Structure formats: structure tokens, C-alpha cells
Structure 1
Amino acid sequence: MHISLEANASVMTATGQSDDATLGSDIVLAVGLSLSATTLAAAAVPVRRGVDEPALWLAAGFALLATVTFLSRRRGFLERRIGGPVAAGSGVLVVLSAGYAINRGVLGSVVLPGLEWSISLVFTAFLVGAGIVAVGVADYAGFSSHGLKRRTVQFLEMLAVGSIGLIAMFIAQVLLASPAIALLGSLSELQSMVVTYLSFALGLGSVAFGYLRFRGYDLSYIDLEVPTVRTVLWTVGGLIVLFGILVGASFLMAATGVETAGHGTVEEAEQNPELLVVIVPAMILIVGPFEELLYRNVIQKSLYETFSRYGAVVVGSVVFAFVHVLAYATAGPGQVLASLTMIFALSLVLGVIYERTEDLLVPALIHGVFNAVQFSMLYFV
């Protein structure tokens, strides 16, 4: 009798866990269906209003495919091993199509009734399409609703940490510029650039170490190894891959008519080449090391706690691309998106290299030298 009661309890527990898993999967699919339907509406409204842009038609078609896929998953017509990748792939194609339409100047803006706010439906499709990708991956991986929520919360936390890094840089610039001006009077462009990069190091470094202290980590969390032949090989290989992507993407964008935005620092250097005396070494000594410290060694490594290693690389690269928005803020939205896409792709490479080597020095060197070479070319071109 005792054995029978235990057996019944085990069956009831297993049944309860199964019900929880099913409920969690249903919630994930419901979120995916809501996102895909929203994306479909955002892409279809401009089309119905006569916007003649093939990329927008494609975005609407891929959003429809994602909607049908999530609906089929909820009805049990598709297994997650098939439905998840189809939904995620459809979301990627929505993002690419909507992004291309935005780059072509198609925004599909509408005014919200009663609020007098204008929003871009195409940009909405772009953003929500990214959510489709995330939910499609979550469905494929079998995440529960709790797992999806936990990963979303950590993504937002890391996005906040990355954004705070930007704010800290501006605060550091004020703190350093004030005594410099008091001591030297008005600063020249060269002196201002020195202050900017010192602020860069102070701001990002403070946030990185502050976050580690907040989490209770010591300096052993920072992955630094003594340079070896392996370090050199990874660095050289990484630089070759980055420049290969840069050249290939440049040709592709030129062939498809995609325009990118100009970086604020590049524009300053073009107007005053003397600034390269500060910019080039700063890329190697400050920008590469401190950006990789915060965005790879702190943010990407923290994401390992809830994401897979390569999932953390992707999510960390989203954060890295997002914090570069202000660097291209003077350009149009389409040009900004194209530039951020390029940064995202390059960040993926740096993230994979960091994940493979577990040595901060390698991506820091690659990042710094890659930037320094590009700025050096401004002097010779």
C-alpha cells in the first residue's frame, strides 16, 4: 500500500510538471503569435496605403509566415524542432527587409489618434521582428515562460549596464574637462580629444569595475592571460576576418544601394587630420581594451549565466550595437541602421573570439588595431 501511494504521488508530480511545461510553451507561443501578428499589421498597413516598396511586401510576407508558423505550433501541427527555426528565420528576414525599406527612406509613419504622436510602422516592424527571432529561438530551445522572462530580464539588465557606460563617459568628461579648462583656459581640439578619451577610459572602466563589485566579483573575473603564440595567431586571424567582413559588406551595400552613416569621430578626423595623433594610439590603448572589458568580459560573460555561450555572443552584440546609436545620431534612421548592422556583425566576431579564447587581451587587441588601421587610412586617402 505504501508503494502504491508513492507511485501515485510520482505520477501526479510528473503530470504536474508536464502541465507546467505545456503551459509555459503555450505562453511562449502566445507571445510569438502576438509579436508576429503585430509585425504583420505594421508591415501591411503601409502596403495597403499604396507604399510601393518591394522590401515592405517581403517584410509583410515573412511576418505572415511567422504568424502561420506560431499558430501551427499552438495547434500542434508543427514540432518545435521545425517551427522554432522557421519562425526565427522568418523574423530575421522581416528585420532585414524592414531595415532595407527604412534605408530606402520608407518609414510608413502614422499619427496616433488623440496623442498626435507620429510613429514609423516600418521601424515598428523592424523592432518587433527582432522579438520574433528571440521567441522562435526560445521555442526551438524549449524554453518555459519563466526561462523566457529570465533571459529577457537579464538582457534588459545588460542593456542598462551598457547604456550606463555611455552616461558615465559623459559625466567623466565633465569632471575632467572642468579642471582642464580652469588650468589651461580654453582647450584646443587636440586637448579636447585627449580629455574625451581619458573620459572614455574612466567612464567605461568605472562602470565595469562598479558592476563587478556590485555582483561580488573580484579582479579574477577579468580574463587576462600572458601573451603566447596562440594569442598572436588569434589576433592575426581575427583581424583578417574583420577586414574581410568590412570589405565584403562594403561591396554588398554598394551593390544594393544601402547607405551607411558617418561616425562622428571620423568626421572630426577628416576635418582636422592632426587629431589622428591622439585618435590612433587611443584606439589601441583605450577604446579596444575598455570597450572589450565592459561589453565582452563583463556583459557577455554575465550573459553566460542564463544564455548559451553563443546566445550570449548574439545578445551581447545587440547591446554593443545599441550603445553606438549616438555615434551616428546625425544621420538618417536608415543610415544609422545600416551602420549598426555592420557593428553588430563585427561584434559577433569579437564575441566569438572572446568566447573561444577566454582571454580579454585578444579581442581588445583586435578591436583596437582594427579601429586604428581604419583611422590611419584617413591620413593616406
Structure 2
Amino acid sequence: MSRQSPDPVRRVGVATGLTVLGVVLSVILSIPALAVSLNALAEFTVALVLSELGFVAAALLFLRVTDRGIDSLRVRVPTPSALGVVVAGTVALFVYRLVAILTAQAVGLPLAGNSVTQLAEQGVLNTLLLLVPLSVLVVGPAEELLFRGVIQSYLDGAFSRGPAVVLASVLFALVHLPTTWVATPDPLAVGVTLTILFGLSILLGYLYVWTDNLVVPILVHGLYDALLFGLAYVVLSSDAVSEAVSVAFYR
């Protein structure tokens, strides 16, 4: 099949549909984990991996249908300078999120939780520890493949890079709506949390544009999540930090 015409409205529609497809496939693929009798930690782990594979499946299906090769993703071994960008980008995302959350708390805005925080609050702290490697090996690669490698690149074909980054980031934030709403059914809290996620996605999008290498946002996303989960594990297991700061480390 030939490539889609560079019509902006059509491309936004396709990108939105691709996001919905990723969510649907994530739900479908995670069903086996819920149907099998497992303990809470095992069930969460299997469901997470299978759900992230839904994003991968949607991305690969799109590449196949549109005759786009893997080369279109711009995946390359990072140079030493690119690795420096990975480190700086990871720190930048962490600082941005921490400042954003602490600012929200300072002005009295609520924040939404998610299934990870619920498990941690129930005492399943090993969930956080397990998410450290899973963030780098599964979450970062799967989500960046779809939202940066496929959706942002596809939108870039009809818009300038700025709007493509923004639109892809809107879709990235919205895809987290179900989990944040289930954990905290408060419109204001969900809105604040999704806005913070939108800002994080903007940074990841521009890292992709700047380096022209999908491996960079993949590594930054994965390492950033791993850092947050690792710190959350330390904080919650030691009870050494106040509740306001510990919340800042939750995803």
C-alpha cells in the first residue's frame, strides 16, 4: 500500500485511531494475565508486559500496512555525544517532573495515582523494584516506538515538527487517562497529572527531533521511569521522606 497523503486532518485521524488501536490491543493482550490465578505481583508484571506489547503490535501493524520499513524509525546505535544527551535528558525529565509536582502540591492541586501506587500502598513494594528493569527493557521501548517512532514521525509528514511533537504528546497523555481515572476518579487530579505527562512527552519528542535517533528517547524514557521507581522503592521502604515528597516519585 502506498503512503498516506500528507493531509493534516487525515493524519491526525489516523494517529488518533492508531492510539486507540494500541490501547485496545493492550487490553486484549493483557486479559490472559487476569484470567490465570497469580499473586498480585506476578499478575501485575505479566499484565504490564503484555499490555506494552499492544503498543508494539499497533506500531508494527502500521509499518506493515503503510509499507514503511524499520529505517523510517531512525534507530541507530547512539554515539558518545548521544549518550550524553541521554544522561542530560533523563536528569531534565526528573527535575521537570519533581518541580511540576511540588508546584502543584504547593498551590493545592490534587494529583492522580495509578495501579503502581495502589500496589505499593498495599505493601507490594517489590512491584516498584521489578519496574526498574522493566522500564528500560519494556516500557520505554514499547511506548516510544509507537508515540515517537510511528505517530510523531507520521504527523511530521503533514505538519512542521513542533505541531507534530505537540499532537503526539496529547495522544501520549490521553492514553494514560484510563489508569489515572481508575486510581483517582477526580477530574481535577487527573487533569493535573495528564498535563504533567504531556510536558514530559514534549521533552521526549524534542529529544527525538534533536538527535534524529529513536534510541535516545527510548533510553531517556526507560531510565527516567527506572529512576523514579527505584527512588520510590527506597523512600517507601525506609519511611525517611515525608508523604509530599514521596508522592513526587510516583508515576
Please, what TM-score do these two structures have when normalized by structure 1?
A: 0.57
Paired residues, number: 227
- How far is the alpha carbon of 1:336 from its aligned partner? 0.4
Q: Is the 8 A contact 1:200 1:286 kept in 2?
A: no
The answer for unaligned runs of 5 or more in structure 2 is 1-5, 236-251
- Structure number with higher relative contact order (C-alpha < 8 Å, ≥ 6 residues apart): 2
Matched, 1:163 2:14: no
1:234, 1:372 → 2: CA distance? 17
Whichever residue aligns with residue 237 of structure 1, its letter is A
State the match for 1:321 in structure 2: 173
Contact 2:93 2:203 in 1 (8 A): yes
Specify the alignment match of 1:244 in structure 2: 95
Asked if residue 268 in structure 1 is aligned to residue 134 in structure 2, the reply is no
Q: Give the 5 Å matches for 1:123-138.
A: none
Distance 2:70 2:205 in 1: 21
Conserved in 1, the CA contact under 8 Å of 2:26 and 2:50?
yes
Q: 1:248 to 1:275 in 2, by over 3 A?
A: closer
Gaps of 5+ in 1: 1-148
Partner of residue 172 from structure 1, selected from 6, 23, 29: 29
Match of 2:73? 222
Distance 1:275 1:324 in 2: 19
Whichever residue aligns with residue 345 of structure 1, its letter is: G
Shift of 1:177: 5.5
RMSD of aligned residue pairs (Cα, Å): 1.7
C-alpha distance in structure 2 between counterparts of 1:266 and 1:360, whole Å: 29
Is 1:282 aligned with 2:134? yes
Q: Distance in 2 between matches of 1:174 and 1:256?
A: 40
Letter in 2 for 1:323: V
Normalised TM-score (structure 2): 0.85
What is residue 373 of structure 1 aligned with on the other side? 227
Percent identity, aligned pairs only, is: 33
Q: Give the drift of 1:197.
A: 2.5
CA 1:151–1:223 in 2, change beyond 3 Å: closer, same or farther? same
Q: CA deviation at 1:176?
A: 5.7
Q: Return the alpha-carbon distance in structure 1 between the equivalents of residues 171 and 134 of structure 2.
A: 23
User: Aligned match of 1:195 in 37, 46, 64?
Assistant: 46
The one of 60, 63, 71 equivalent to 1:212 is 63
Q: Is the 8 A contact 1:266 1:375 kept in 2?
A: no
The letter for the 2-side match of 1:308 is S
Note if contact 2:116-2:127 (Cα within 8 Å) is conserved in structure 1: no
- Partners of 2:152 and 2:50 in 1: how far apart? 23
Q: Which has the larger radius of gyration?
A: 1
